[in-house]
Amino acid sequence: MSFSSKTKKELCRIESANCCQKAECYGLLLFGRSFSLQSITLTTESRETAERTAELVARAAGVYVDVKTSPPRRGDQRSACTLSVPGSSQIEQVLHQFGYTGKEISLRMNLANLDHECCRSAFLRGAFLSCGTVTDPARDYRLEFVVPYRNLARDLTAFLRDIFELDATPGIINRKGSFVVYLKGGDHVADLLTFLGAGSSAMELIQVRMLKEVRNEVNRKTNFETANIEKTASAAARQMIALKKIFACGGVSLLPEELRELALLRYQNPDLSLRELGQNLEPPLSRSGVNHRLSRIMELAEHLRGSDLEQGAEPERGRTRAGSRSERG
């Protein structure tokens, strides 16, 4: 079952007061497929929504609806239910119940059907059950109302903006001949779901969002640490190349006295960090101090010319040869 279907199932379990039943019924029918003298119809793939609509129309408008179920489309396991108010006299009765004549040039919202503050959430709940969807939070944070008429979509957008508790900034786009009123962002979608009465769905969205944020933070730190390790390894490799060049051109004696201990320590411990190198010096040296001295060693290596100096050897072998010469002398 999709996240949107679970949300609608949760909303259909809400027990409403009489005033809210009328408001919710109004939202269901107004945002259905048609709401005019010719027909009042609503199509849904939610069995719970179909049952709730039939019950609310009977209670709030005093008429019964016809329900037709179409077989699932190819590749889809869900069947669609189409609810319609039968007969012109009953259609007129429903329109009159909600303040319409059926001769309106443009279908607009009639806020007179919302008797109390509590009816606002019931009306939006009906609208969402009729034409709304909410994206699985594992993919995105987005809630939509697919509205058949431009002015009705504009009215819904203004209505959402005027609800202080939501602090919503809905957008509106044209998609395949319908007008889509949408909200984006985890906070906005969770707030609207809570306002509609889908507290469990809102909590699930918040939990998924928190989990994604934790994963993103872990990945960010891991990537940061990996980049630091690669940077440290790259710098150490360059330092080793420079030291080998220095040793090949005459040995550690080429270096100033304050650089010799660090040069040997780095050469013998290519995997130590700058901080660890500093802690192993006598006296210890700060990370920035180690970095400064290594930079000086690198600069010296850059200026060396192999042809200007005798070919030398690495530190240990250099000391051995020096010892042999002294013995011969």
For the stretch 148-202, pLDDT in tens is: 999 999 999 999 999 888 888 899 999 988 899 999 988 899 999 999 999 999 9
How far is residue 172's CA from residue 2's CA, in Å, rounded to a whole number? 24
Of 181, 197, 213, the residue at which a domain comes to its end is: 197
The alpha-carbon radius of gyration of the chain (Å, integer) is 38
Going from the C-alpha of 185 to that of each of 4, 114, 156, 272, the distances in angstroms are: 16, 28, 19, 45
Q: Which of 78, 77, 53 is nearest to 67 (CA)?
A: 53
- Is residue 218 one of the residues assigned to a domain? no
Tokens (6 digits) for 264: 């040997």
When mean pLDDT is compared across 127-136, 142-151, 284-293, 315-324, the lowest value belongs to 315-324
Same domain, 181 and 240: no
More confident residue, 20 or 220: 20
Please, what's the largest Cα pairwise distance for the chain? 127
Same domain, 64 and 157: yes
pLDDT at 76: 60
- Is residue 209 one of the residues assigned to a domain? no
Spacing of C-alpha 270 from chain mean position: 42
Contact 192, 166 (CB under 8 A): yes
Q: What is the mean pLDDT of residues 83-87?
A: 91
Tokens (6 digits) for 168: 């919503």
How far is residue 116's CA from residue 321's CA, in Å, rounded to a whole number? 99
Same domain, 160 and 57: yes
Tokens (6 digits) for 144: 């939509």
Q: What is the mean pLDDT of residues 64-69?
A: 89
Going from the C-alpha of 60 to that of each of 23, 33, 44, 88, 89, the distances in angstroms are: 9, 19, 20, 18, 16
Query: Band of the pLDDT at 22, cuts 50, 70, 90?
Result: very high
Same domain, 239 and 153: no
Q: Is 87 left (phi over 0), alpha (psi -120 to 50) or beta?
A: left
Q: Distance between terminal CA atoms of the chain?
A: 92
Same domain, 10 and 97: yes
Q: Which of 149, 163, 179 is nearest to 121 (CA)?
A: 163
Tokens (6 digits) for 310: 């005798």
How far is residue 300's CA from residue 282's CA, in Å, rounded to a whole number? 23
Number of domains in the chain: 2
Condensed to tens digits (0 to 9), the pLDDT of residues 239-266 reads: 788 778 777 776 667 777 778 788 888 8
Query: Band of the pLDDT at 77, cuts 50, 70, 90?
Result: low
How far is residue 84's CA from residue 90's CA, in Å, rounded to a whole number? 11
Q: Is 146 left (phi over 0), alpha (psi -120 to 50) or beta?
A: beta
Buried-state track 265-280, b at ≥16 Cβ within 10 A, e below 16: bbbeeeebebeebbee
Same domain, 184 and 248: no
Same domain, 171 and 25: yes
More confident residue, 40 or 237: 40
- Is residue 116 one of the residues assigned to a domain? yes
Structural domain for 59, as ranges = 3-70+77-197
Spacing of C-alpha 96 from chain mean position: 44
Of 197, 224, 254, the residue at which a domain comes to its end is: 197
Give me the CATH number covering residue 170.
3.10.28.10
Same domain, 274 and 128: no
Same domain, 105 and 164: yes
- Is residue 227 one of the residues assigned to a domain? no
